[in-house]
Amino acid sequence: MKKILFFLLITMLCINFSGAKGLQLDNQLSKKEQLVAQMKYGGQKSSNDSVFYDYQKSPALAFTLSAVLPGAGQYYADKKWWAVGFFGVEALGLGLWYDRKTYGENMEDEYESFADQNWSIKDFLQNLNKWSKCEVTGHNISVYWKKGDEYHTHTLDKTLKNKRLDGEITYNNLKAYLQDQYGDGELGAVKDRSYYENIGKYDQFACGWEEFPTEENVQNTDTVFMSPKRNNYLTKRKKSNDALKFATKSLTVVMFNHLISTLHAQLAVKQSEKPEKGQARTRESTGWQLSLLPSNRKGQFVQGINLSFSF
């Protein structure tokens, strides 16, 4: 049991030593006496049975601190204003990212709900022949035929138009075709990401929006008709996309802030260790002391450890 405790003690001391410059013996012991002391007590002083370690700040630790929280490594290196700056950029970047991301996602839900209420596959198919720009070519959307729990999807494209519907797509024609193929069911649009982009962005889907003019009111069929609802939809979608793009840029700033902060923290620590010209290196103001408490009992090596920090 004692051997196990001794092994754990030595392991813990080695871990603590890894962050320090090394072991400093502030006494007048000879080299032989110092070596014996190191082997017997880990290098404790003869005067007060303690070991003092000259702690110098670690660039690796500064790097790690700033990698976790920008500014922490600078604070560790006593660069307080730099710490405030890096932490401020981090807080601002994360705040903007969260605000814009939340707003963009809320607007996304809003414009999708608006489209569900004001654009329909039925209106689009019924108005295909009323305006030359409404067609099933170029950009596509898909429709589904639901029969019970079964879903069958088809893309509205030239293949469906020419090979399966005899060159003409109408709502009734498509519905009859799908009913013959799969039996009684329900026709609807597959509302994926492309669907919500295409119905607002491209003129070929404009006739699916409410407020689309009747054939008699369209004086020039080659003129794009921007109904108020389609325009409203595009405005909402643009706000959502702009907010989400801004959120992505904010997150990029945060990532670069982490990178720059880690590199700067290492340089700050190394710079702080360099003495000014003409001056000798002085001990760092931040340090720690570790004392081994020897035991007077027979067969016991030490009875405890005393660890203290100074700032």
Q: Supply 215's token pair.
A: 């054939």
Q: Where are the alpha helices (DSSP H) in the chain?
A: 2-17, 31-41, 59-68, 72-76, 80-118, 121-126, 158-159, 171-182, 193-201, 228-273
pLDDT of residue 9: 46
Residue 172 pLDDT exceeds 90: no
Q: Give pTM, 2 decimals.
A: 0.62
Q: Supply 152's token pair.
A: 């069958």
Looking only at the bridges linking them, the beta strands covering 186-189 and 22-24 are unpaired
Rg of the Cα atoms in the chain: 37
Q: What is the mean pLDDT of the chain?
A: 74
Query: pLDDT class for 274, splitting at 50, 70, 90?
Result: low
Query: pLDDT class for 271, splitting at 50, 70, 90?
Result: confident
Query: pLDDT class for 85, splitting at 50, 70, 90?
Result: very high
Q: Which residues contact 109 (CB under 8 A, 6 or more apart)?
A: none
Query: pLDDT class for 214, splitting at 50, 70, 90?
Result: low
**Among the listed ranges 41-50, 60-69, 247-256, 299-308, which one has the minimum average pLDDT value?**
41-50
Residue 103 pLDDT exceeds 90: yes
Query: pLDDT class for 294, splitting at 50, 70, 90?
Result: low
Query: pLDDT class for 138, splitting at 50, 70, 90?
Result: confident
